[in-house]
Structure 1
């Protein structure tokens, strides 16, 4: 590890030794944006030599595309603390680098004198999505990370933990968005197979002819273009294979799958020999299995083979106690990702969340929180104003005794003809705002980024106003 002797940033010999041996990339710039600390791991991650980076300005070495900015320079220039931020950029050889960063400004006497970035390499850990396959040997979810205090959820957690002790097949039953894959990963990570592969395949994502070769593998010469290639069963050997939406497979393919499960052997397409398997199967289904059997979506014999352990994941509407708990978790998640300081939902939004039916379950809740926080700017509370219009109207209908601020907001959104003089003034101001936005956009030839800068608002905030005012000349 090399460093420049900056008077504001003194690194002693012990720290130098630690930085040299630590398995995390460390990159430090001084107040001019020039690199002064660049450790061995950082060189490996960015595929650079120390002389290419040390003492040079960051933007002279690395390229950031699509108007993305360096998180390290944001910390230096704006004092932003960013955690768990994914960033992709290019080194001076044109090689793409993808990292997860924790970035902090370095302060002295209340002044920013530099910035430090701690980096984890994810370039080689990106999920391999080839022919619709997701392989995730480094599953990140465990039972400790599953959020919920409702009795029904706790029962499922306990049952899932017990199932992790064995290698029996597990069938996860639940609506879309209830977290079936999170449970599958948690079971895998709690089992003795946790150090072995975890491979997931969505059975609904691919046609039958393709998914058969993906599951079972191919023998060279079996058909035109066929090569010797292991299937997912072979790749998951010793570990866990998650078959998502098993009910989307054809009856013929379900029969072949049943034979593999019964014999614990697999034969590649076009091959004459079988290979022994030691794979745990976890399958998911998004409909009632009895109805799936009645509708010929699931073979009865395959159901019995898969459902040695059956776990019914409750929909979010049956977990009322967990809704606000999950909402708070997602608020904190997007605070970290977006650099915000939101602390809560206001009372009306919280009441709406508790009464909403959540057809998309936890996934819908997360998307709603993410969408709302895209519209937050220098605010600490998510209000009805941050929700999509259709949900704003739903909030209003649920709360008959709205406070004055919420009544004003409703009046502004609905543009009711019976508004009093105060609301008419608001309507006039909204018209002026729309005209001003149109003028600036026209002057900037529809460039959102330039217009937002002139208007003094964020790009996301401007995009929201464009949608709100039905402005159609966005480029």
Structure 2
């Protein structure tokens, strides 16, 4: 569980030399150094050992990791003198943050910038990346960038145009790769706020203490290394703040966001003064929000406050007629970017595209075509230019069938397959009428099959 924070942390900081993830006992579970010339420890020397055993001159009082594990408060940009268990010494600037699950501290993430002798007395800090996406009006997507011939998507485009004229909160629900940020930017681009900032923040798996600082800002001295810093609510004042994957945000931060939205004012971390804000909130989830509420990962009151208007984006497999259209669109895009003259895809490649379920949705299709551009040598994308996992699907499926041949009668295999399809259709719809429409059969036939299979 602790390792899932590594990718997010690496995406938060501009420049680091080393990263450590330790569990609640101080045992190191992950270690990496990008400067082996300064810190010569290797992963096998560190992982599984206690932080005080790796750096024996540290104590529970001088180790930032041990202090954060004890009191749960983050430490930013603290200089430490480190001596390894192999006798090597160097200075480092460390930022250490707790990893919290519910109300429990389950570990810490510690990032370091190593200081070479000539830099040890300089004022060096570990700076955050400008992790939020802030774009000007002309850089944002608009409705014309939503490429579709699908009736559901055309209705969504019409809906976007209508709700862009209001200030109501919008919640976008769609699987990964369906275009949630494209929708959010289009809402802002066509709104009266279009000349004001559009700020985007992915909230996935960022520790609550860090996310709170990013959203609300900080006051100098509020914790070790804290400086006066503007939060994203202030940056987005007058415009739109897009919060992606709010279902991954820790509950404690959700409560503070709810308060900020309702009161239209925020207070920086460590600050005393309230700051008025005028921000339209567009948020997104990549799973059924009701499931997230039921499992305690999304506050119900926040859901209703953010979901005044809801947009449900269909998966690419549910808008099959768009696969060909999007394929042509991305081919044209990469022709312009790469100076190529690809005119399309072969018949076999088209068959594969049409039969594939595209679990990664439009983003996956885009990446597959970009990858093929790097491999194809002619003017058509061929089957051989596609990723191996697309080509091996039929072989894997044939292997599963061969495993039951001679053991299970054909009619039983067909019935099992049909039952599974009906279960999926019922799970994706809210009524028998909708499920029958999705399956393209009559309501009466669907009811017969539901009774037959005991669904």
Normalising by structure 2, report the TM-score: 0.57
Residue of structure 1 in register with 2:309 after alignment: 309
Residue of structure 2 in register with 1:135 after alignment: 134
Return the alpha-carbon distance in structure 1 between the equivalents of residues 376 and 319 of structure 2: 27
Return the alpha-carbon distance in structure 1 between the equivalents of residues 397 and 149 of structure 2: 26
Return the alpha-carbon distance in structure 2 between the equivalents of residues 226 and 320 of structure 1: 51
Residue of structure 2 in register with 1:371 after alignment: 371
Contact conserved, 2:198 with 2:240, CA < 8 A, in 1? Answer: yes
Residue of structure 2 in register with 1:339 after alignment: 339
Residue of structure 1 in register with 2:225 after alignment: 225
Return the alpha-carbon distance in structure 2 between the equivalents of residues 355 and 129 of structure 1: 43
Q: Does 1:323 align with 2:359?
A: no
* Residue 205 of structure 1: how far off its partner (Å): 5.3
Contact conserved, 1:175 with 1:287, CA < 8 A, in 2? Answer: yes
1:250-269, aligned counterparts within 5 Å?
Answer: 250-269=250-269
Structure 1 residues 396 and 373: alpha-carbon distance in aligned structure 2, compared to 1, 3 A threshold:
farther
Return the alpha-carbon distance in structure 2 between the equivalents of residues 216 and 361 of structure 1: 33
Return the alpha-carbon distance in structure 2 between the equivalents of residues 356 and 318 of structure 1: 12
1:251-290, aligned counterparts within 5 Å?
Answer: 251-290=251-290
Residue of structure 1 in register with 2:390 after alignment: 391
SS class of match (2:199): strand
* Residue 174 of structure 1: how far off its partner (Å): 0.3
Return the alpha-carbon distance in structure 1 between the equivalents of residues 210 and 381 of structure 2: 45
Return the alpha-carbon distance in structure 1 between the equivalents of residues 175 and 196 of structure 2: 28
* Residue 215 of structure 1: how far off its partner (Å): 0.3
Return the alpha-carbon distance in structure 2 between the equivalents of residues 300 and 398 of structure 1: 41
Residue of structure 2 in register with 1:107 after alignment: none
* Residue 137 of structure 1: how far off its partner (Å): 3.0
Contact conserved, 1:242 with 1:281, CA < 8 A, in 2? Answer: yes
User: Which is greater in Rg?
Assistant: 1
SS class of match (1:200): strand
C-alpha distance after superposition, 1:155-204 (max 9, x if no partner)? 11111111100011000000000000011111100001101001111101
* Residue 206 of structure 1: how far off its partner (Å): 2.4
Contact conserved, 2:171 with 2:283, CA < 8 A, in 1? Answer: yes
Structure 1 gap ranges (5+): 1-127, 400-475
Structure 1 residues 292 and 348: alpha-carbon distance in aligned structure 2, compared to 1, 3 A threshold:
same
C-alpha distance after superposition, 1:114-164 (max 9, x if no partner)? xxxxxxxxxxxxxx9726332223432100111001111111111111110
Residue of structure 2 in register with 1:381 after alignment: 380
Return the alpha-carbon distance in structure 2 between the equivalents of residues 290 and 155 of structure 1: 23
C-alpha distance after superposition, 1:35-82 (max 9, x if no partner)? xxxxxxxxxxxxxxxxxxxxxxxxxxxxxxxxxxxxxxxxxxxxxxxx
SS class of match (1:324): helix
1:21-420, aligned counterparts within 5 Å?
Answer: 130=129, 132-138=131-137, 139-204=139-204, 206-377=206-377, 379-394=378-393
C-alpha distance after superposition, 1:75-107 (max 9, x if no partner)? xxxxxxxxxxxxxxxxxxxxxxxxxxxxxxxxx
SS class of match (1:130): coil
Contact conserved, 2:206 with 2:249, CA < 8 A, in 1? Answer: no
* Residue 395 of structure 1: how far off its partner (Å): 6.7
Structure 1 residues 222 and 129: alpha-carbon distance in aligned structure 2, compared to 1, 3 A threshold:
closer
Return the alpha-carbon distance in structure 2 between the equivalents of residues 222 and 391 of structure 1: 52
Return the alpha-carbon distance in structure 2 between the equivalents of residues 129 and 350 of structure 1: 44
Return the alpha-carbon distance in structure 1 between the equivalents of residues 243 and 201 of structure 2: 5
Return the alpha-carbon distance in structure 2 between the equivalents of residues 342 and 395 of structure 1: 27
Backbone CA RMSD of aligned residues: 1.9
Contact conserved, 1:352 with 1:398, CA < 8 A, in 2? Answer: no
Return the alpha-carbon distance in structure 2 between the equivalents of residues 129 and 329 of structure 1: 36
Contact conserved, 2:217 with 2:229, CA < 8 A, in 1? Answer: yes
- Larger RCO (alpha carbons 8 Å, 6+ apart): 2
1:436-451, aligned counterparts within 5 Å?
Answer: none
Contact conserved, 1:129 with 1:135, CA < 8 A, in 2? Answer: no
Return the alpha-carbon distance in structure 2 between the equivalents of residues 146 and 360 of structure 1: 17
- Structure 1 runs (4+) deviating above 3 angstroms are 393-399
Normalising by structure 1, report the TM-score: 0.55
Return the alpha-carbon distance in structure 2 between the equivalents of residues 397 and 264 of structure 1: 54
Contact conserved, 2:376 with 2:382, CA < 8 A, in 1? Answer: no
Aligned residues, how many? 271
SS class of match (2:133): strand
